[in-house]
């Protein structure tokens, strides 16, 4: 792989991650399914748990999703929750012509429906992901959220 091919792959992977967050935040299930590998494994266990206190602010999110067909963006929205995700500083390593891995620092905010226990949950941490190039397009193969702080008010 040449330097130009590696840089092109890195940019394509950055776009995949941007589309993932946009799809999640706008509840666009088709967009998210389109950037996931068919046999993906997305591990959201502990994704709303503060590691310092052990408090889980949204236990219903503790799931491991297997396969892109299972993705649905309607869960949060139907519960009246609006999410806003920001990823930063992607550390992308291209391992070969069709495989890559990345660590993304991130912040997300979940705005809860009126009358709940809290109004906003803010999480900080990292997404650890692997990617596979399938049919000429990079797809998310695995995803794991690692939290460093979660707070709500």
CATH number at residue 104: 3.10.450.50
Which among 10, 8, 30 has a CA at the least distance from the CA of 20?
Answer: 30
Strands 137-152 and 82-94: unpaired
Q: Would you state the structure tokens that stand for residue 132, as one six-digit string? A: 């596979």
pLDDT along the chain (153 residues), means of 10: 96 98 94 97 97 95 94 80 94 97 97 93 98 98 98 96
| 6: exposed, middle or buried (Cβ count in 10 Å: 0-12, 13-18, 19+) | middle
**pTM for the model:** 0.94
| CA gap 143, 128 in Å, rounded | 6
Name the domain count of the chain: 1
């Amino acid at each position: 792989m040449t330097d130009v091919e590696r840089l092109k792959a890195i940019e394509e992977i950055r776009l995949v991650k941007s589309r993932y967050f946009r799809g999640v935040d706008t509840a666009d299930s088709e967009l998210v399914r389109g950037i996931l590998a068919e046999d993906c494994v997305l591990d959201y266990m502990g994704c709303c748990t503060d590691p310092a206190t052990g408090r889980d602010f949204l236990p219903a999110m503790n799931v491991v999703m297997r396969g892109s067909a299972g993705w649905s963006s309607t869960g949060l929205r139907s519960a009246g929750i609006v999410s806003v995700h920001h990823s930063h500083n992607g550390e992308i390593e291209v391992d070969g012509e069709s495989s890559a891995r990345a660590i993304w620092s991130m912040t997300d905010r979940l705005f809860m429906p009126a009358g709940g226990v809290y109004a906003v949950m803010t999480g900080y941490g990292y997404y650890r992901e692997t990617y596979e190039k399938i049919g000429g397009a990079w797809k998310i193969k695995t995803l794991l959220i690692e939290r460093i702080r979660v707070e709500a008010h």
